[in-house]
Structure 1
Amino acid sequence: MKCFVQFQAARNKIMLLLLPSIIFRRRQNLLILHHLSRSLSFSSTPDSFSHHNLRRQDLDQNTLVLRTLSLYSNDWKLALDFFNWQLHSDSNFHHTTHTYNRIIDILCKFFQFNNAWDLIHQMRKTHLSFPNRTTFRILFNRYASAHLVQEAIIAYNRSQDFNLKDEITFSHLIDALCEYKHVVEAAEICFGKDDVHHLNNTKIYNTILRGWLKLRWWSKCSELWEEMDRRGVEKDLFSYTIYMDIQSKSGKPWKAVRMYKKMNKKGIKLDVVIYNTVINAIGQSEGVDFAVRIFHEMADLGCHPTVETFNVIINLLCQNRRFREAHNLFVEMSKRGYSPNVVTYQSFFAYLEKPMQILKLFDEMIVNGVRPRLDTYVLLMRKFGKLGFLRPVFLVWKKMEQHGPSPDNHTYNALIDALLHKGLIDMAKKYDDEMLAKGLSAKPRVELDAKLMDTVKSISSK
């Protein structure tokens, strides 16, 4: 117990030493944000603008505020400081429902639910910022991700105060619960009472079915699929898409292919989403060449591919180390007017092995206007870290600082793991402390615990 108290005291002292630099950095950031916001402000008075120009001005500033909030989505205090500063600044800007929703999402991400509700009540003041279904969908998602199921249900009931308690909002609640693996509770809400009115709602069944898929509870998937038939619930294309995905991911992709062939024989018109699932299933069960054959078949039948279709084929080719063919398809999709997205590039990043080749493609992606996601940075840093290349890890980290958004716990952990892999404990400790200062959670590491205990002993001896 004494050791633990010493440990905590030492950590607090370290944080006090870090605090001045943290405050200075936050002031610097706010100053940068001030100049950034001013960069899109208009010097003329409102009277000098037509109504159209005023709307355009509001749109530009609204976009700027949203982008700035997104850049600081992993530092809720700084994001809230900026939001409030913009709220009380002397500009003509007024927060909209979109900007409120963005800050509410950031606050809830860090469990600042009370602050979020304060803002929701504040939104009532003008018609520009009145809460909408997206506001409550954000709440449902954040409560569900924090495993606060009862709080999510209470939020759904409170939506009545804003005239938003309806079937659409209910479906958002169920979707959020299933997305974050609270499918048992979602099923109980939908089907656990005698007075339910969702027993023939195809969309609700699809959502629950997708939830069992996420949990990989294959028997529950089969039971619900059969129950839909027993209760006369009409199955739509989305139902078949989900169930084919279930068959593929449960290790039975040939069953998905069989269902596809049956649907073809029945003359059911398939959409591109079904084809994407089928192409992936055939690629996994019968090989990428068969998947390419289906790809050409769908085009012949007049079903136009999407970027996701190309991504499925490219990913299958990369899995099989057929990079030249994947690159040729990459070039072809661009020529046909399909812009590669971040998922397209990530298929290459996941399977290429040469750091310089990966970094060149990464730079090309940014130049082409494809913005990396946080999971893109994590994928690259973890890959380079496992390969034992530290310099590329820092190059990726620098790109993230240049292009945003601000790092989250996954990106910090990827960097720290790479540093520890190379034995750079002091540098890893620095980033671990930086995480703590931002309120992000670091995973426990033996090397850093030992380093902290050495610090405890050093402080205690003084």
Structure 2
Amino acid sequence: MLSWSTSRQRLLCNFPVLSVIKNLLSINSKWISTSANNPSPPTANALPGSLTPKAVSHTLACYSNEWRRALDFFDWVETKHSFVHTTDTFNRMIDILGKFFEFELCWALIGRMTRSPGSFPNHVTFRTMFDRYTSAHLVNEAISAYCRLEEFNLRDAVSYYNLIDALCDHQHVAEAVEICFGDMRSEDVSPNFAVDETKIHNLILRGWYKVGWWRKCRDFWEEMERKGVRKDLHSYAIYMDIVCKGGKPWKAVKLYKEMKRKGVKLDVVAYNTVVRAIGLAEGVDFSIRLVREMREAGCQPNVVTYNTIIKLLCGNGRLREAGRVLDEMRKRGCEPNVRTFNCIFVTLEKPKEILRLFDVMMGSGVSPTVETFVLLMRKFERWGFLRPVLMLWEKMIEKGCSPNQDAYNALIDALVDKGMIEMARKYDQEMYEKGLSPKPRPELTEKVEE
């Protein structure tokens, strides 16, 4: 464990660009020694020849909460080291800019993409734009972006599905219904190509599910029946998920039996929904039996299947059995992911067990996400332990994870609880400068007023 003075110095000065670039791009010592407070990437005399699109994309992902530094790095590798950006690296940068509503910069990048055959915009580019517009509730702008797709030769069924899916993903299902079936079917938006009615209905059904309007989901499901819309595997999988989340898992089991009667062959996604539903309705032991049935039917469980079983076992306090499932999935060649460990972290209530499992996770090569760090920081903050919170924050920075709003709030709350107001205020100000929203805290406000 680092001393308090050393920990504090690193916490205040460390900046993800150093560790991220060091790990991903193997930058020389001159770069590493550059001041961490420099707002833009420092210049270097040379970079290794292994500067790949994948490495650049990973680095940009680490700046997902700091668009200015992400854009600095994006331009820097191009201008200083002649890196030729690909469509994937452009898409990554557009996603980060869109997250902060910098849509003019997004379109400027799209303009740059069109000038190079190797980075021409694709369906992912505009799916990203649809997502960011609709998440900002800019529905008209999303529709306008779709209408411009003729310029890029991308006005097709895939883009149409992407627009409807993005609207449904971000609680604009009513607008999606209007576009597909209502008054918004104008010439600008209406497809002049064949559309799969089952797929469109599935997207809207899933949209009502994401909004959480269970009655509307049921009505729409019955409407599909009245209209004679063919229900496929995905229709059943979505509706099973709906009734399960709506607190009626036994209905999902009933639908599963209906699918079997109709001869619908289940895939692993549908099986995973039923595994969760039957576990909630009849107990985790029935879920384990269903997993055996999956294998007998030739459908191999994946990491989601095992995560579902582990979560059900942990929810019933059967932690030892959850550990055995963890071992079994490894033996069967299915490596656990960060969600696997998060399922167990949620249940653990002993600090030593959490730290031990955290070491196991790191040792197995599974990298924690920002969500993992926030989950653990909140646990230790609730128990009144500041040092593990600081250790986790430092580890998060070291791993190149750019702290989000939840991470900052977890750290600041822990500092405020221990009376470290000055340090808490520094992080509060840092949040504000990054464009994140600190939550109101009387302790910090009172100090400023004094």
- Which residue of structure 2 lines up, in the alignment, with residue 74 of structure 1? 65
- Which residue of structure 1 lines up, in the alignment, with residue 154 of structure 2? 164
8 Å contact kept, 1:124–1:131: yes
Q: Return the offset for 1:76.
A: 1.0
- Which residue of structure 2 lines up, in the alignment, with residue 30 of structure 1? 41
Structure 2 residue identity aligned to 1:72: Y
- Which residue of structure 2 lines up, in the alignment, with residue 151 of structure 1? 141
Q: Return the offset for 1:411.
A: 1.2
Structure 1 residue identity aligned to 2:73: F
- Which residue of structure 2 lines up, in the alignment, with residue 410 of structure 1? 406
Q: CA RMSD in A?
A: 2.2
DSSP-derived class of the 2:449 partner:
helix
- Which residue of structure 1 lines up, in the alignment, with residue 357 of structure 2? 361
8 Å contact kept, 1:200–1:231: no
DSSP-derived class of the 1:303 partner:
coil
Structure 1 residue identity aligned to 2:142: A
8 Å contact kept, 2:310–2:322: yes
Question: Compared with structure 1, are the counterparts of its residues 116 and 389 closer, same or farther at alpha carbon in structure 2 (3 Å cutoff)?
Answer: same
8 Å contact kept, 2:130–2:166: yes
Separation (CA, whole Å) in 2 of partners of 1:103 and 1:393: 31
Separation (CA, whole Å) in 2 of partners of 1:233 and 1:424: 61
DSSP-derived class of the 1:27 partner:
coil
- Which residue of structure 1 lines up, in the alignment, with residue 423 of structure 2? 427
2:173 paired with 1:183: yes
8 Å contact kept, 1:26–1:78: no
Structure 2: give runs of 5+ residues left out of the alignment: 1-11, 16-33
Separation (CA, whole Å) in 2 of partners of 1:39 and 1:407: 27
2:30 paired with 1:40: no
- Which residue of structure 1 lines up, in the alignment, with residue 55 of structure 2? 64
Structure 2 residue identity aligned to 1:352: L
TM-score (norm 2): 0.87
Over residues 155-210 of structure 1, what are the superposed CA-to-partner deviations in whole Å (9 max), with x where a residue is unaligned? 11122211112111111111111111111111111111367668862111111111
2:188 paired with 1:192: no
Question: Compared with structure 1, are the counterparts of its residues 229 and 200 closer, same or farther at alpha carbon in structure 2 (3 Å cutoff)?
Answer: farther
DSSP-derived class of the 2:291 partner:
helix
Separation (CA, whole Å) in 2 of partners of 1:318 and 1:387: 21
Structure 1 residue identity aligned to 2:234: F
Q: How does 1:313-332 map to 2 (within 5 A)?
A: 313-332=309-328
Separation (CA, whole Å) in 2 of partners of 1:322 and 1:444: 39
Q: How many residue pairs were aligned?
A: 413
Q: Return the offset for 1:300.
A: 2.2
Q: 1:390 aligns with which of 374, 386, 389?
A: 386
8 Å contact kept, 1:40–1:61: no
TM-score (norm 1): 0.85
Percent sequence identity is 54
Q: How does 1:80-91 map to 2 (within 5 A)?
A: 80-89=71-80, 91=81
Structure 1 residue identity aligned to 2:53: N
- Which residue of structure 2 lines up, in the alignment, with residue 45 of structure 1? none
Q: 1:302 aligns with which of 284, 298, 316?
A: 298
Separation (CA, whole Å) in 1 of partners of 2:236 and 2:151: 37
Structure 2 residue identity aligned to 1:237: L
Structure 1: give runs of 5+ residues left out of the alignment: 1-17, 42-56, 455-462
Q: Return the offset for 1:239.
A: 0.6
Over residues 211-249 of structure 1, what are the superposed CA-to-partner deviations in whole Å (9 max), with x where a residue is unaligned? 111111011101111111222211111110110111111
DSSP-derived class of the 1:235 partner:
coil
DSSP-derived class of the 2:41 partner:
helix
Q: Return the offset for 1:39.
A: 4.5
8 Å contact kept, 1:420–1:428: yes
8 Å contact kept, 2:314–2:343: yes
8 Å contact kept, 1:191–1:199: no
Q: Return the offset for 1:153.
A: 1.1
- Which residue of structure 1 lines up, in the alignment, with residue 27 of structure 2? none
- Which residue of structure 2 lines up, in the alignment, with residue 141 of structure 1? 131
Structure 1 residue identity aligned to 2:325: L
Q: Return the offset for 1:334.
A: 0.2
Structure 1 residue identity aligned to 2:283: G
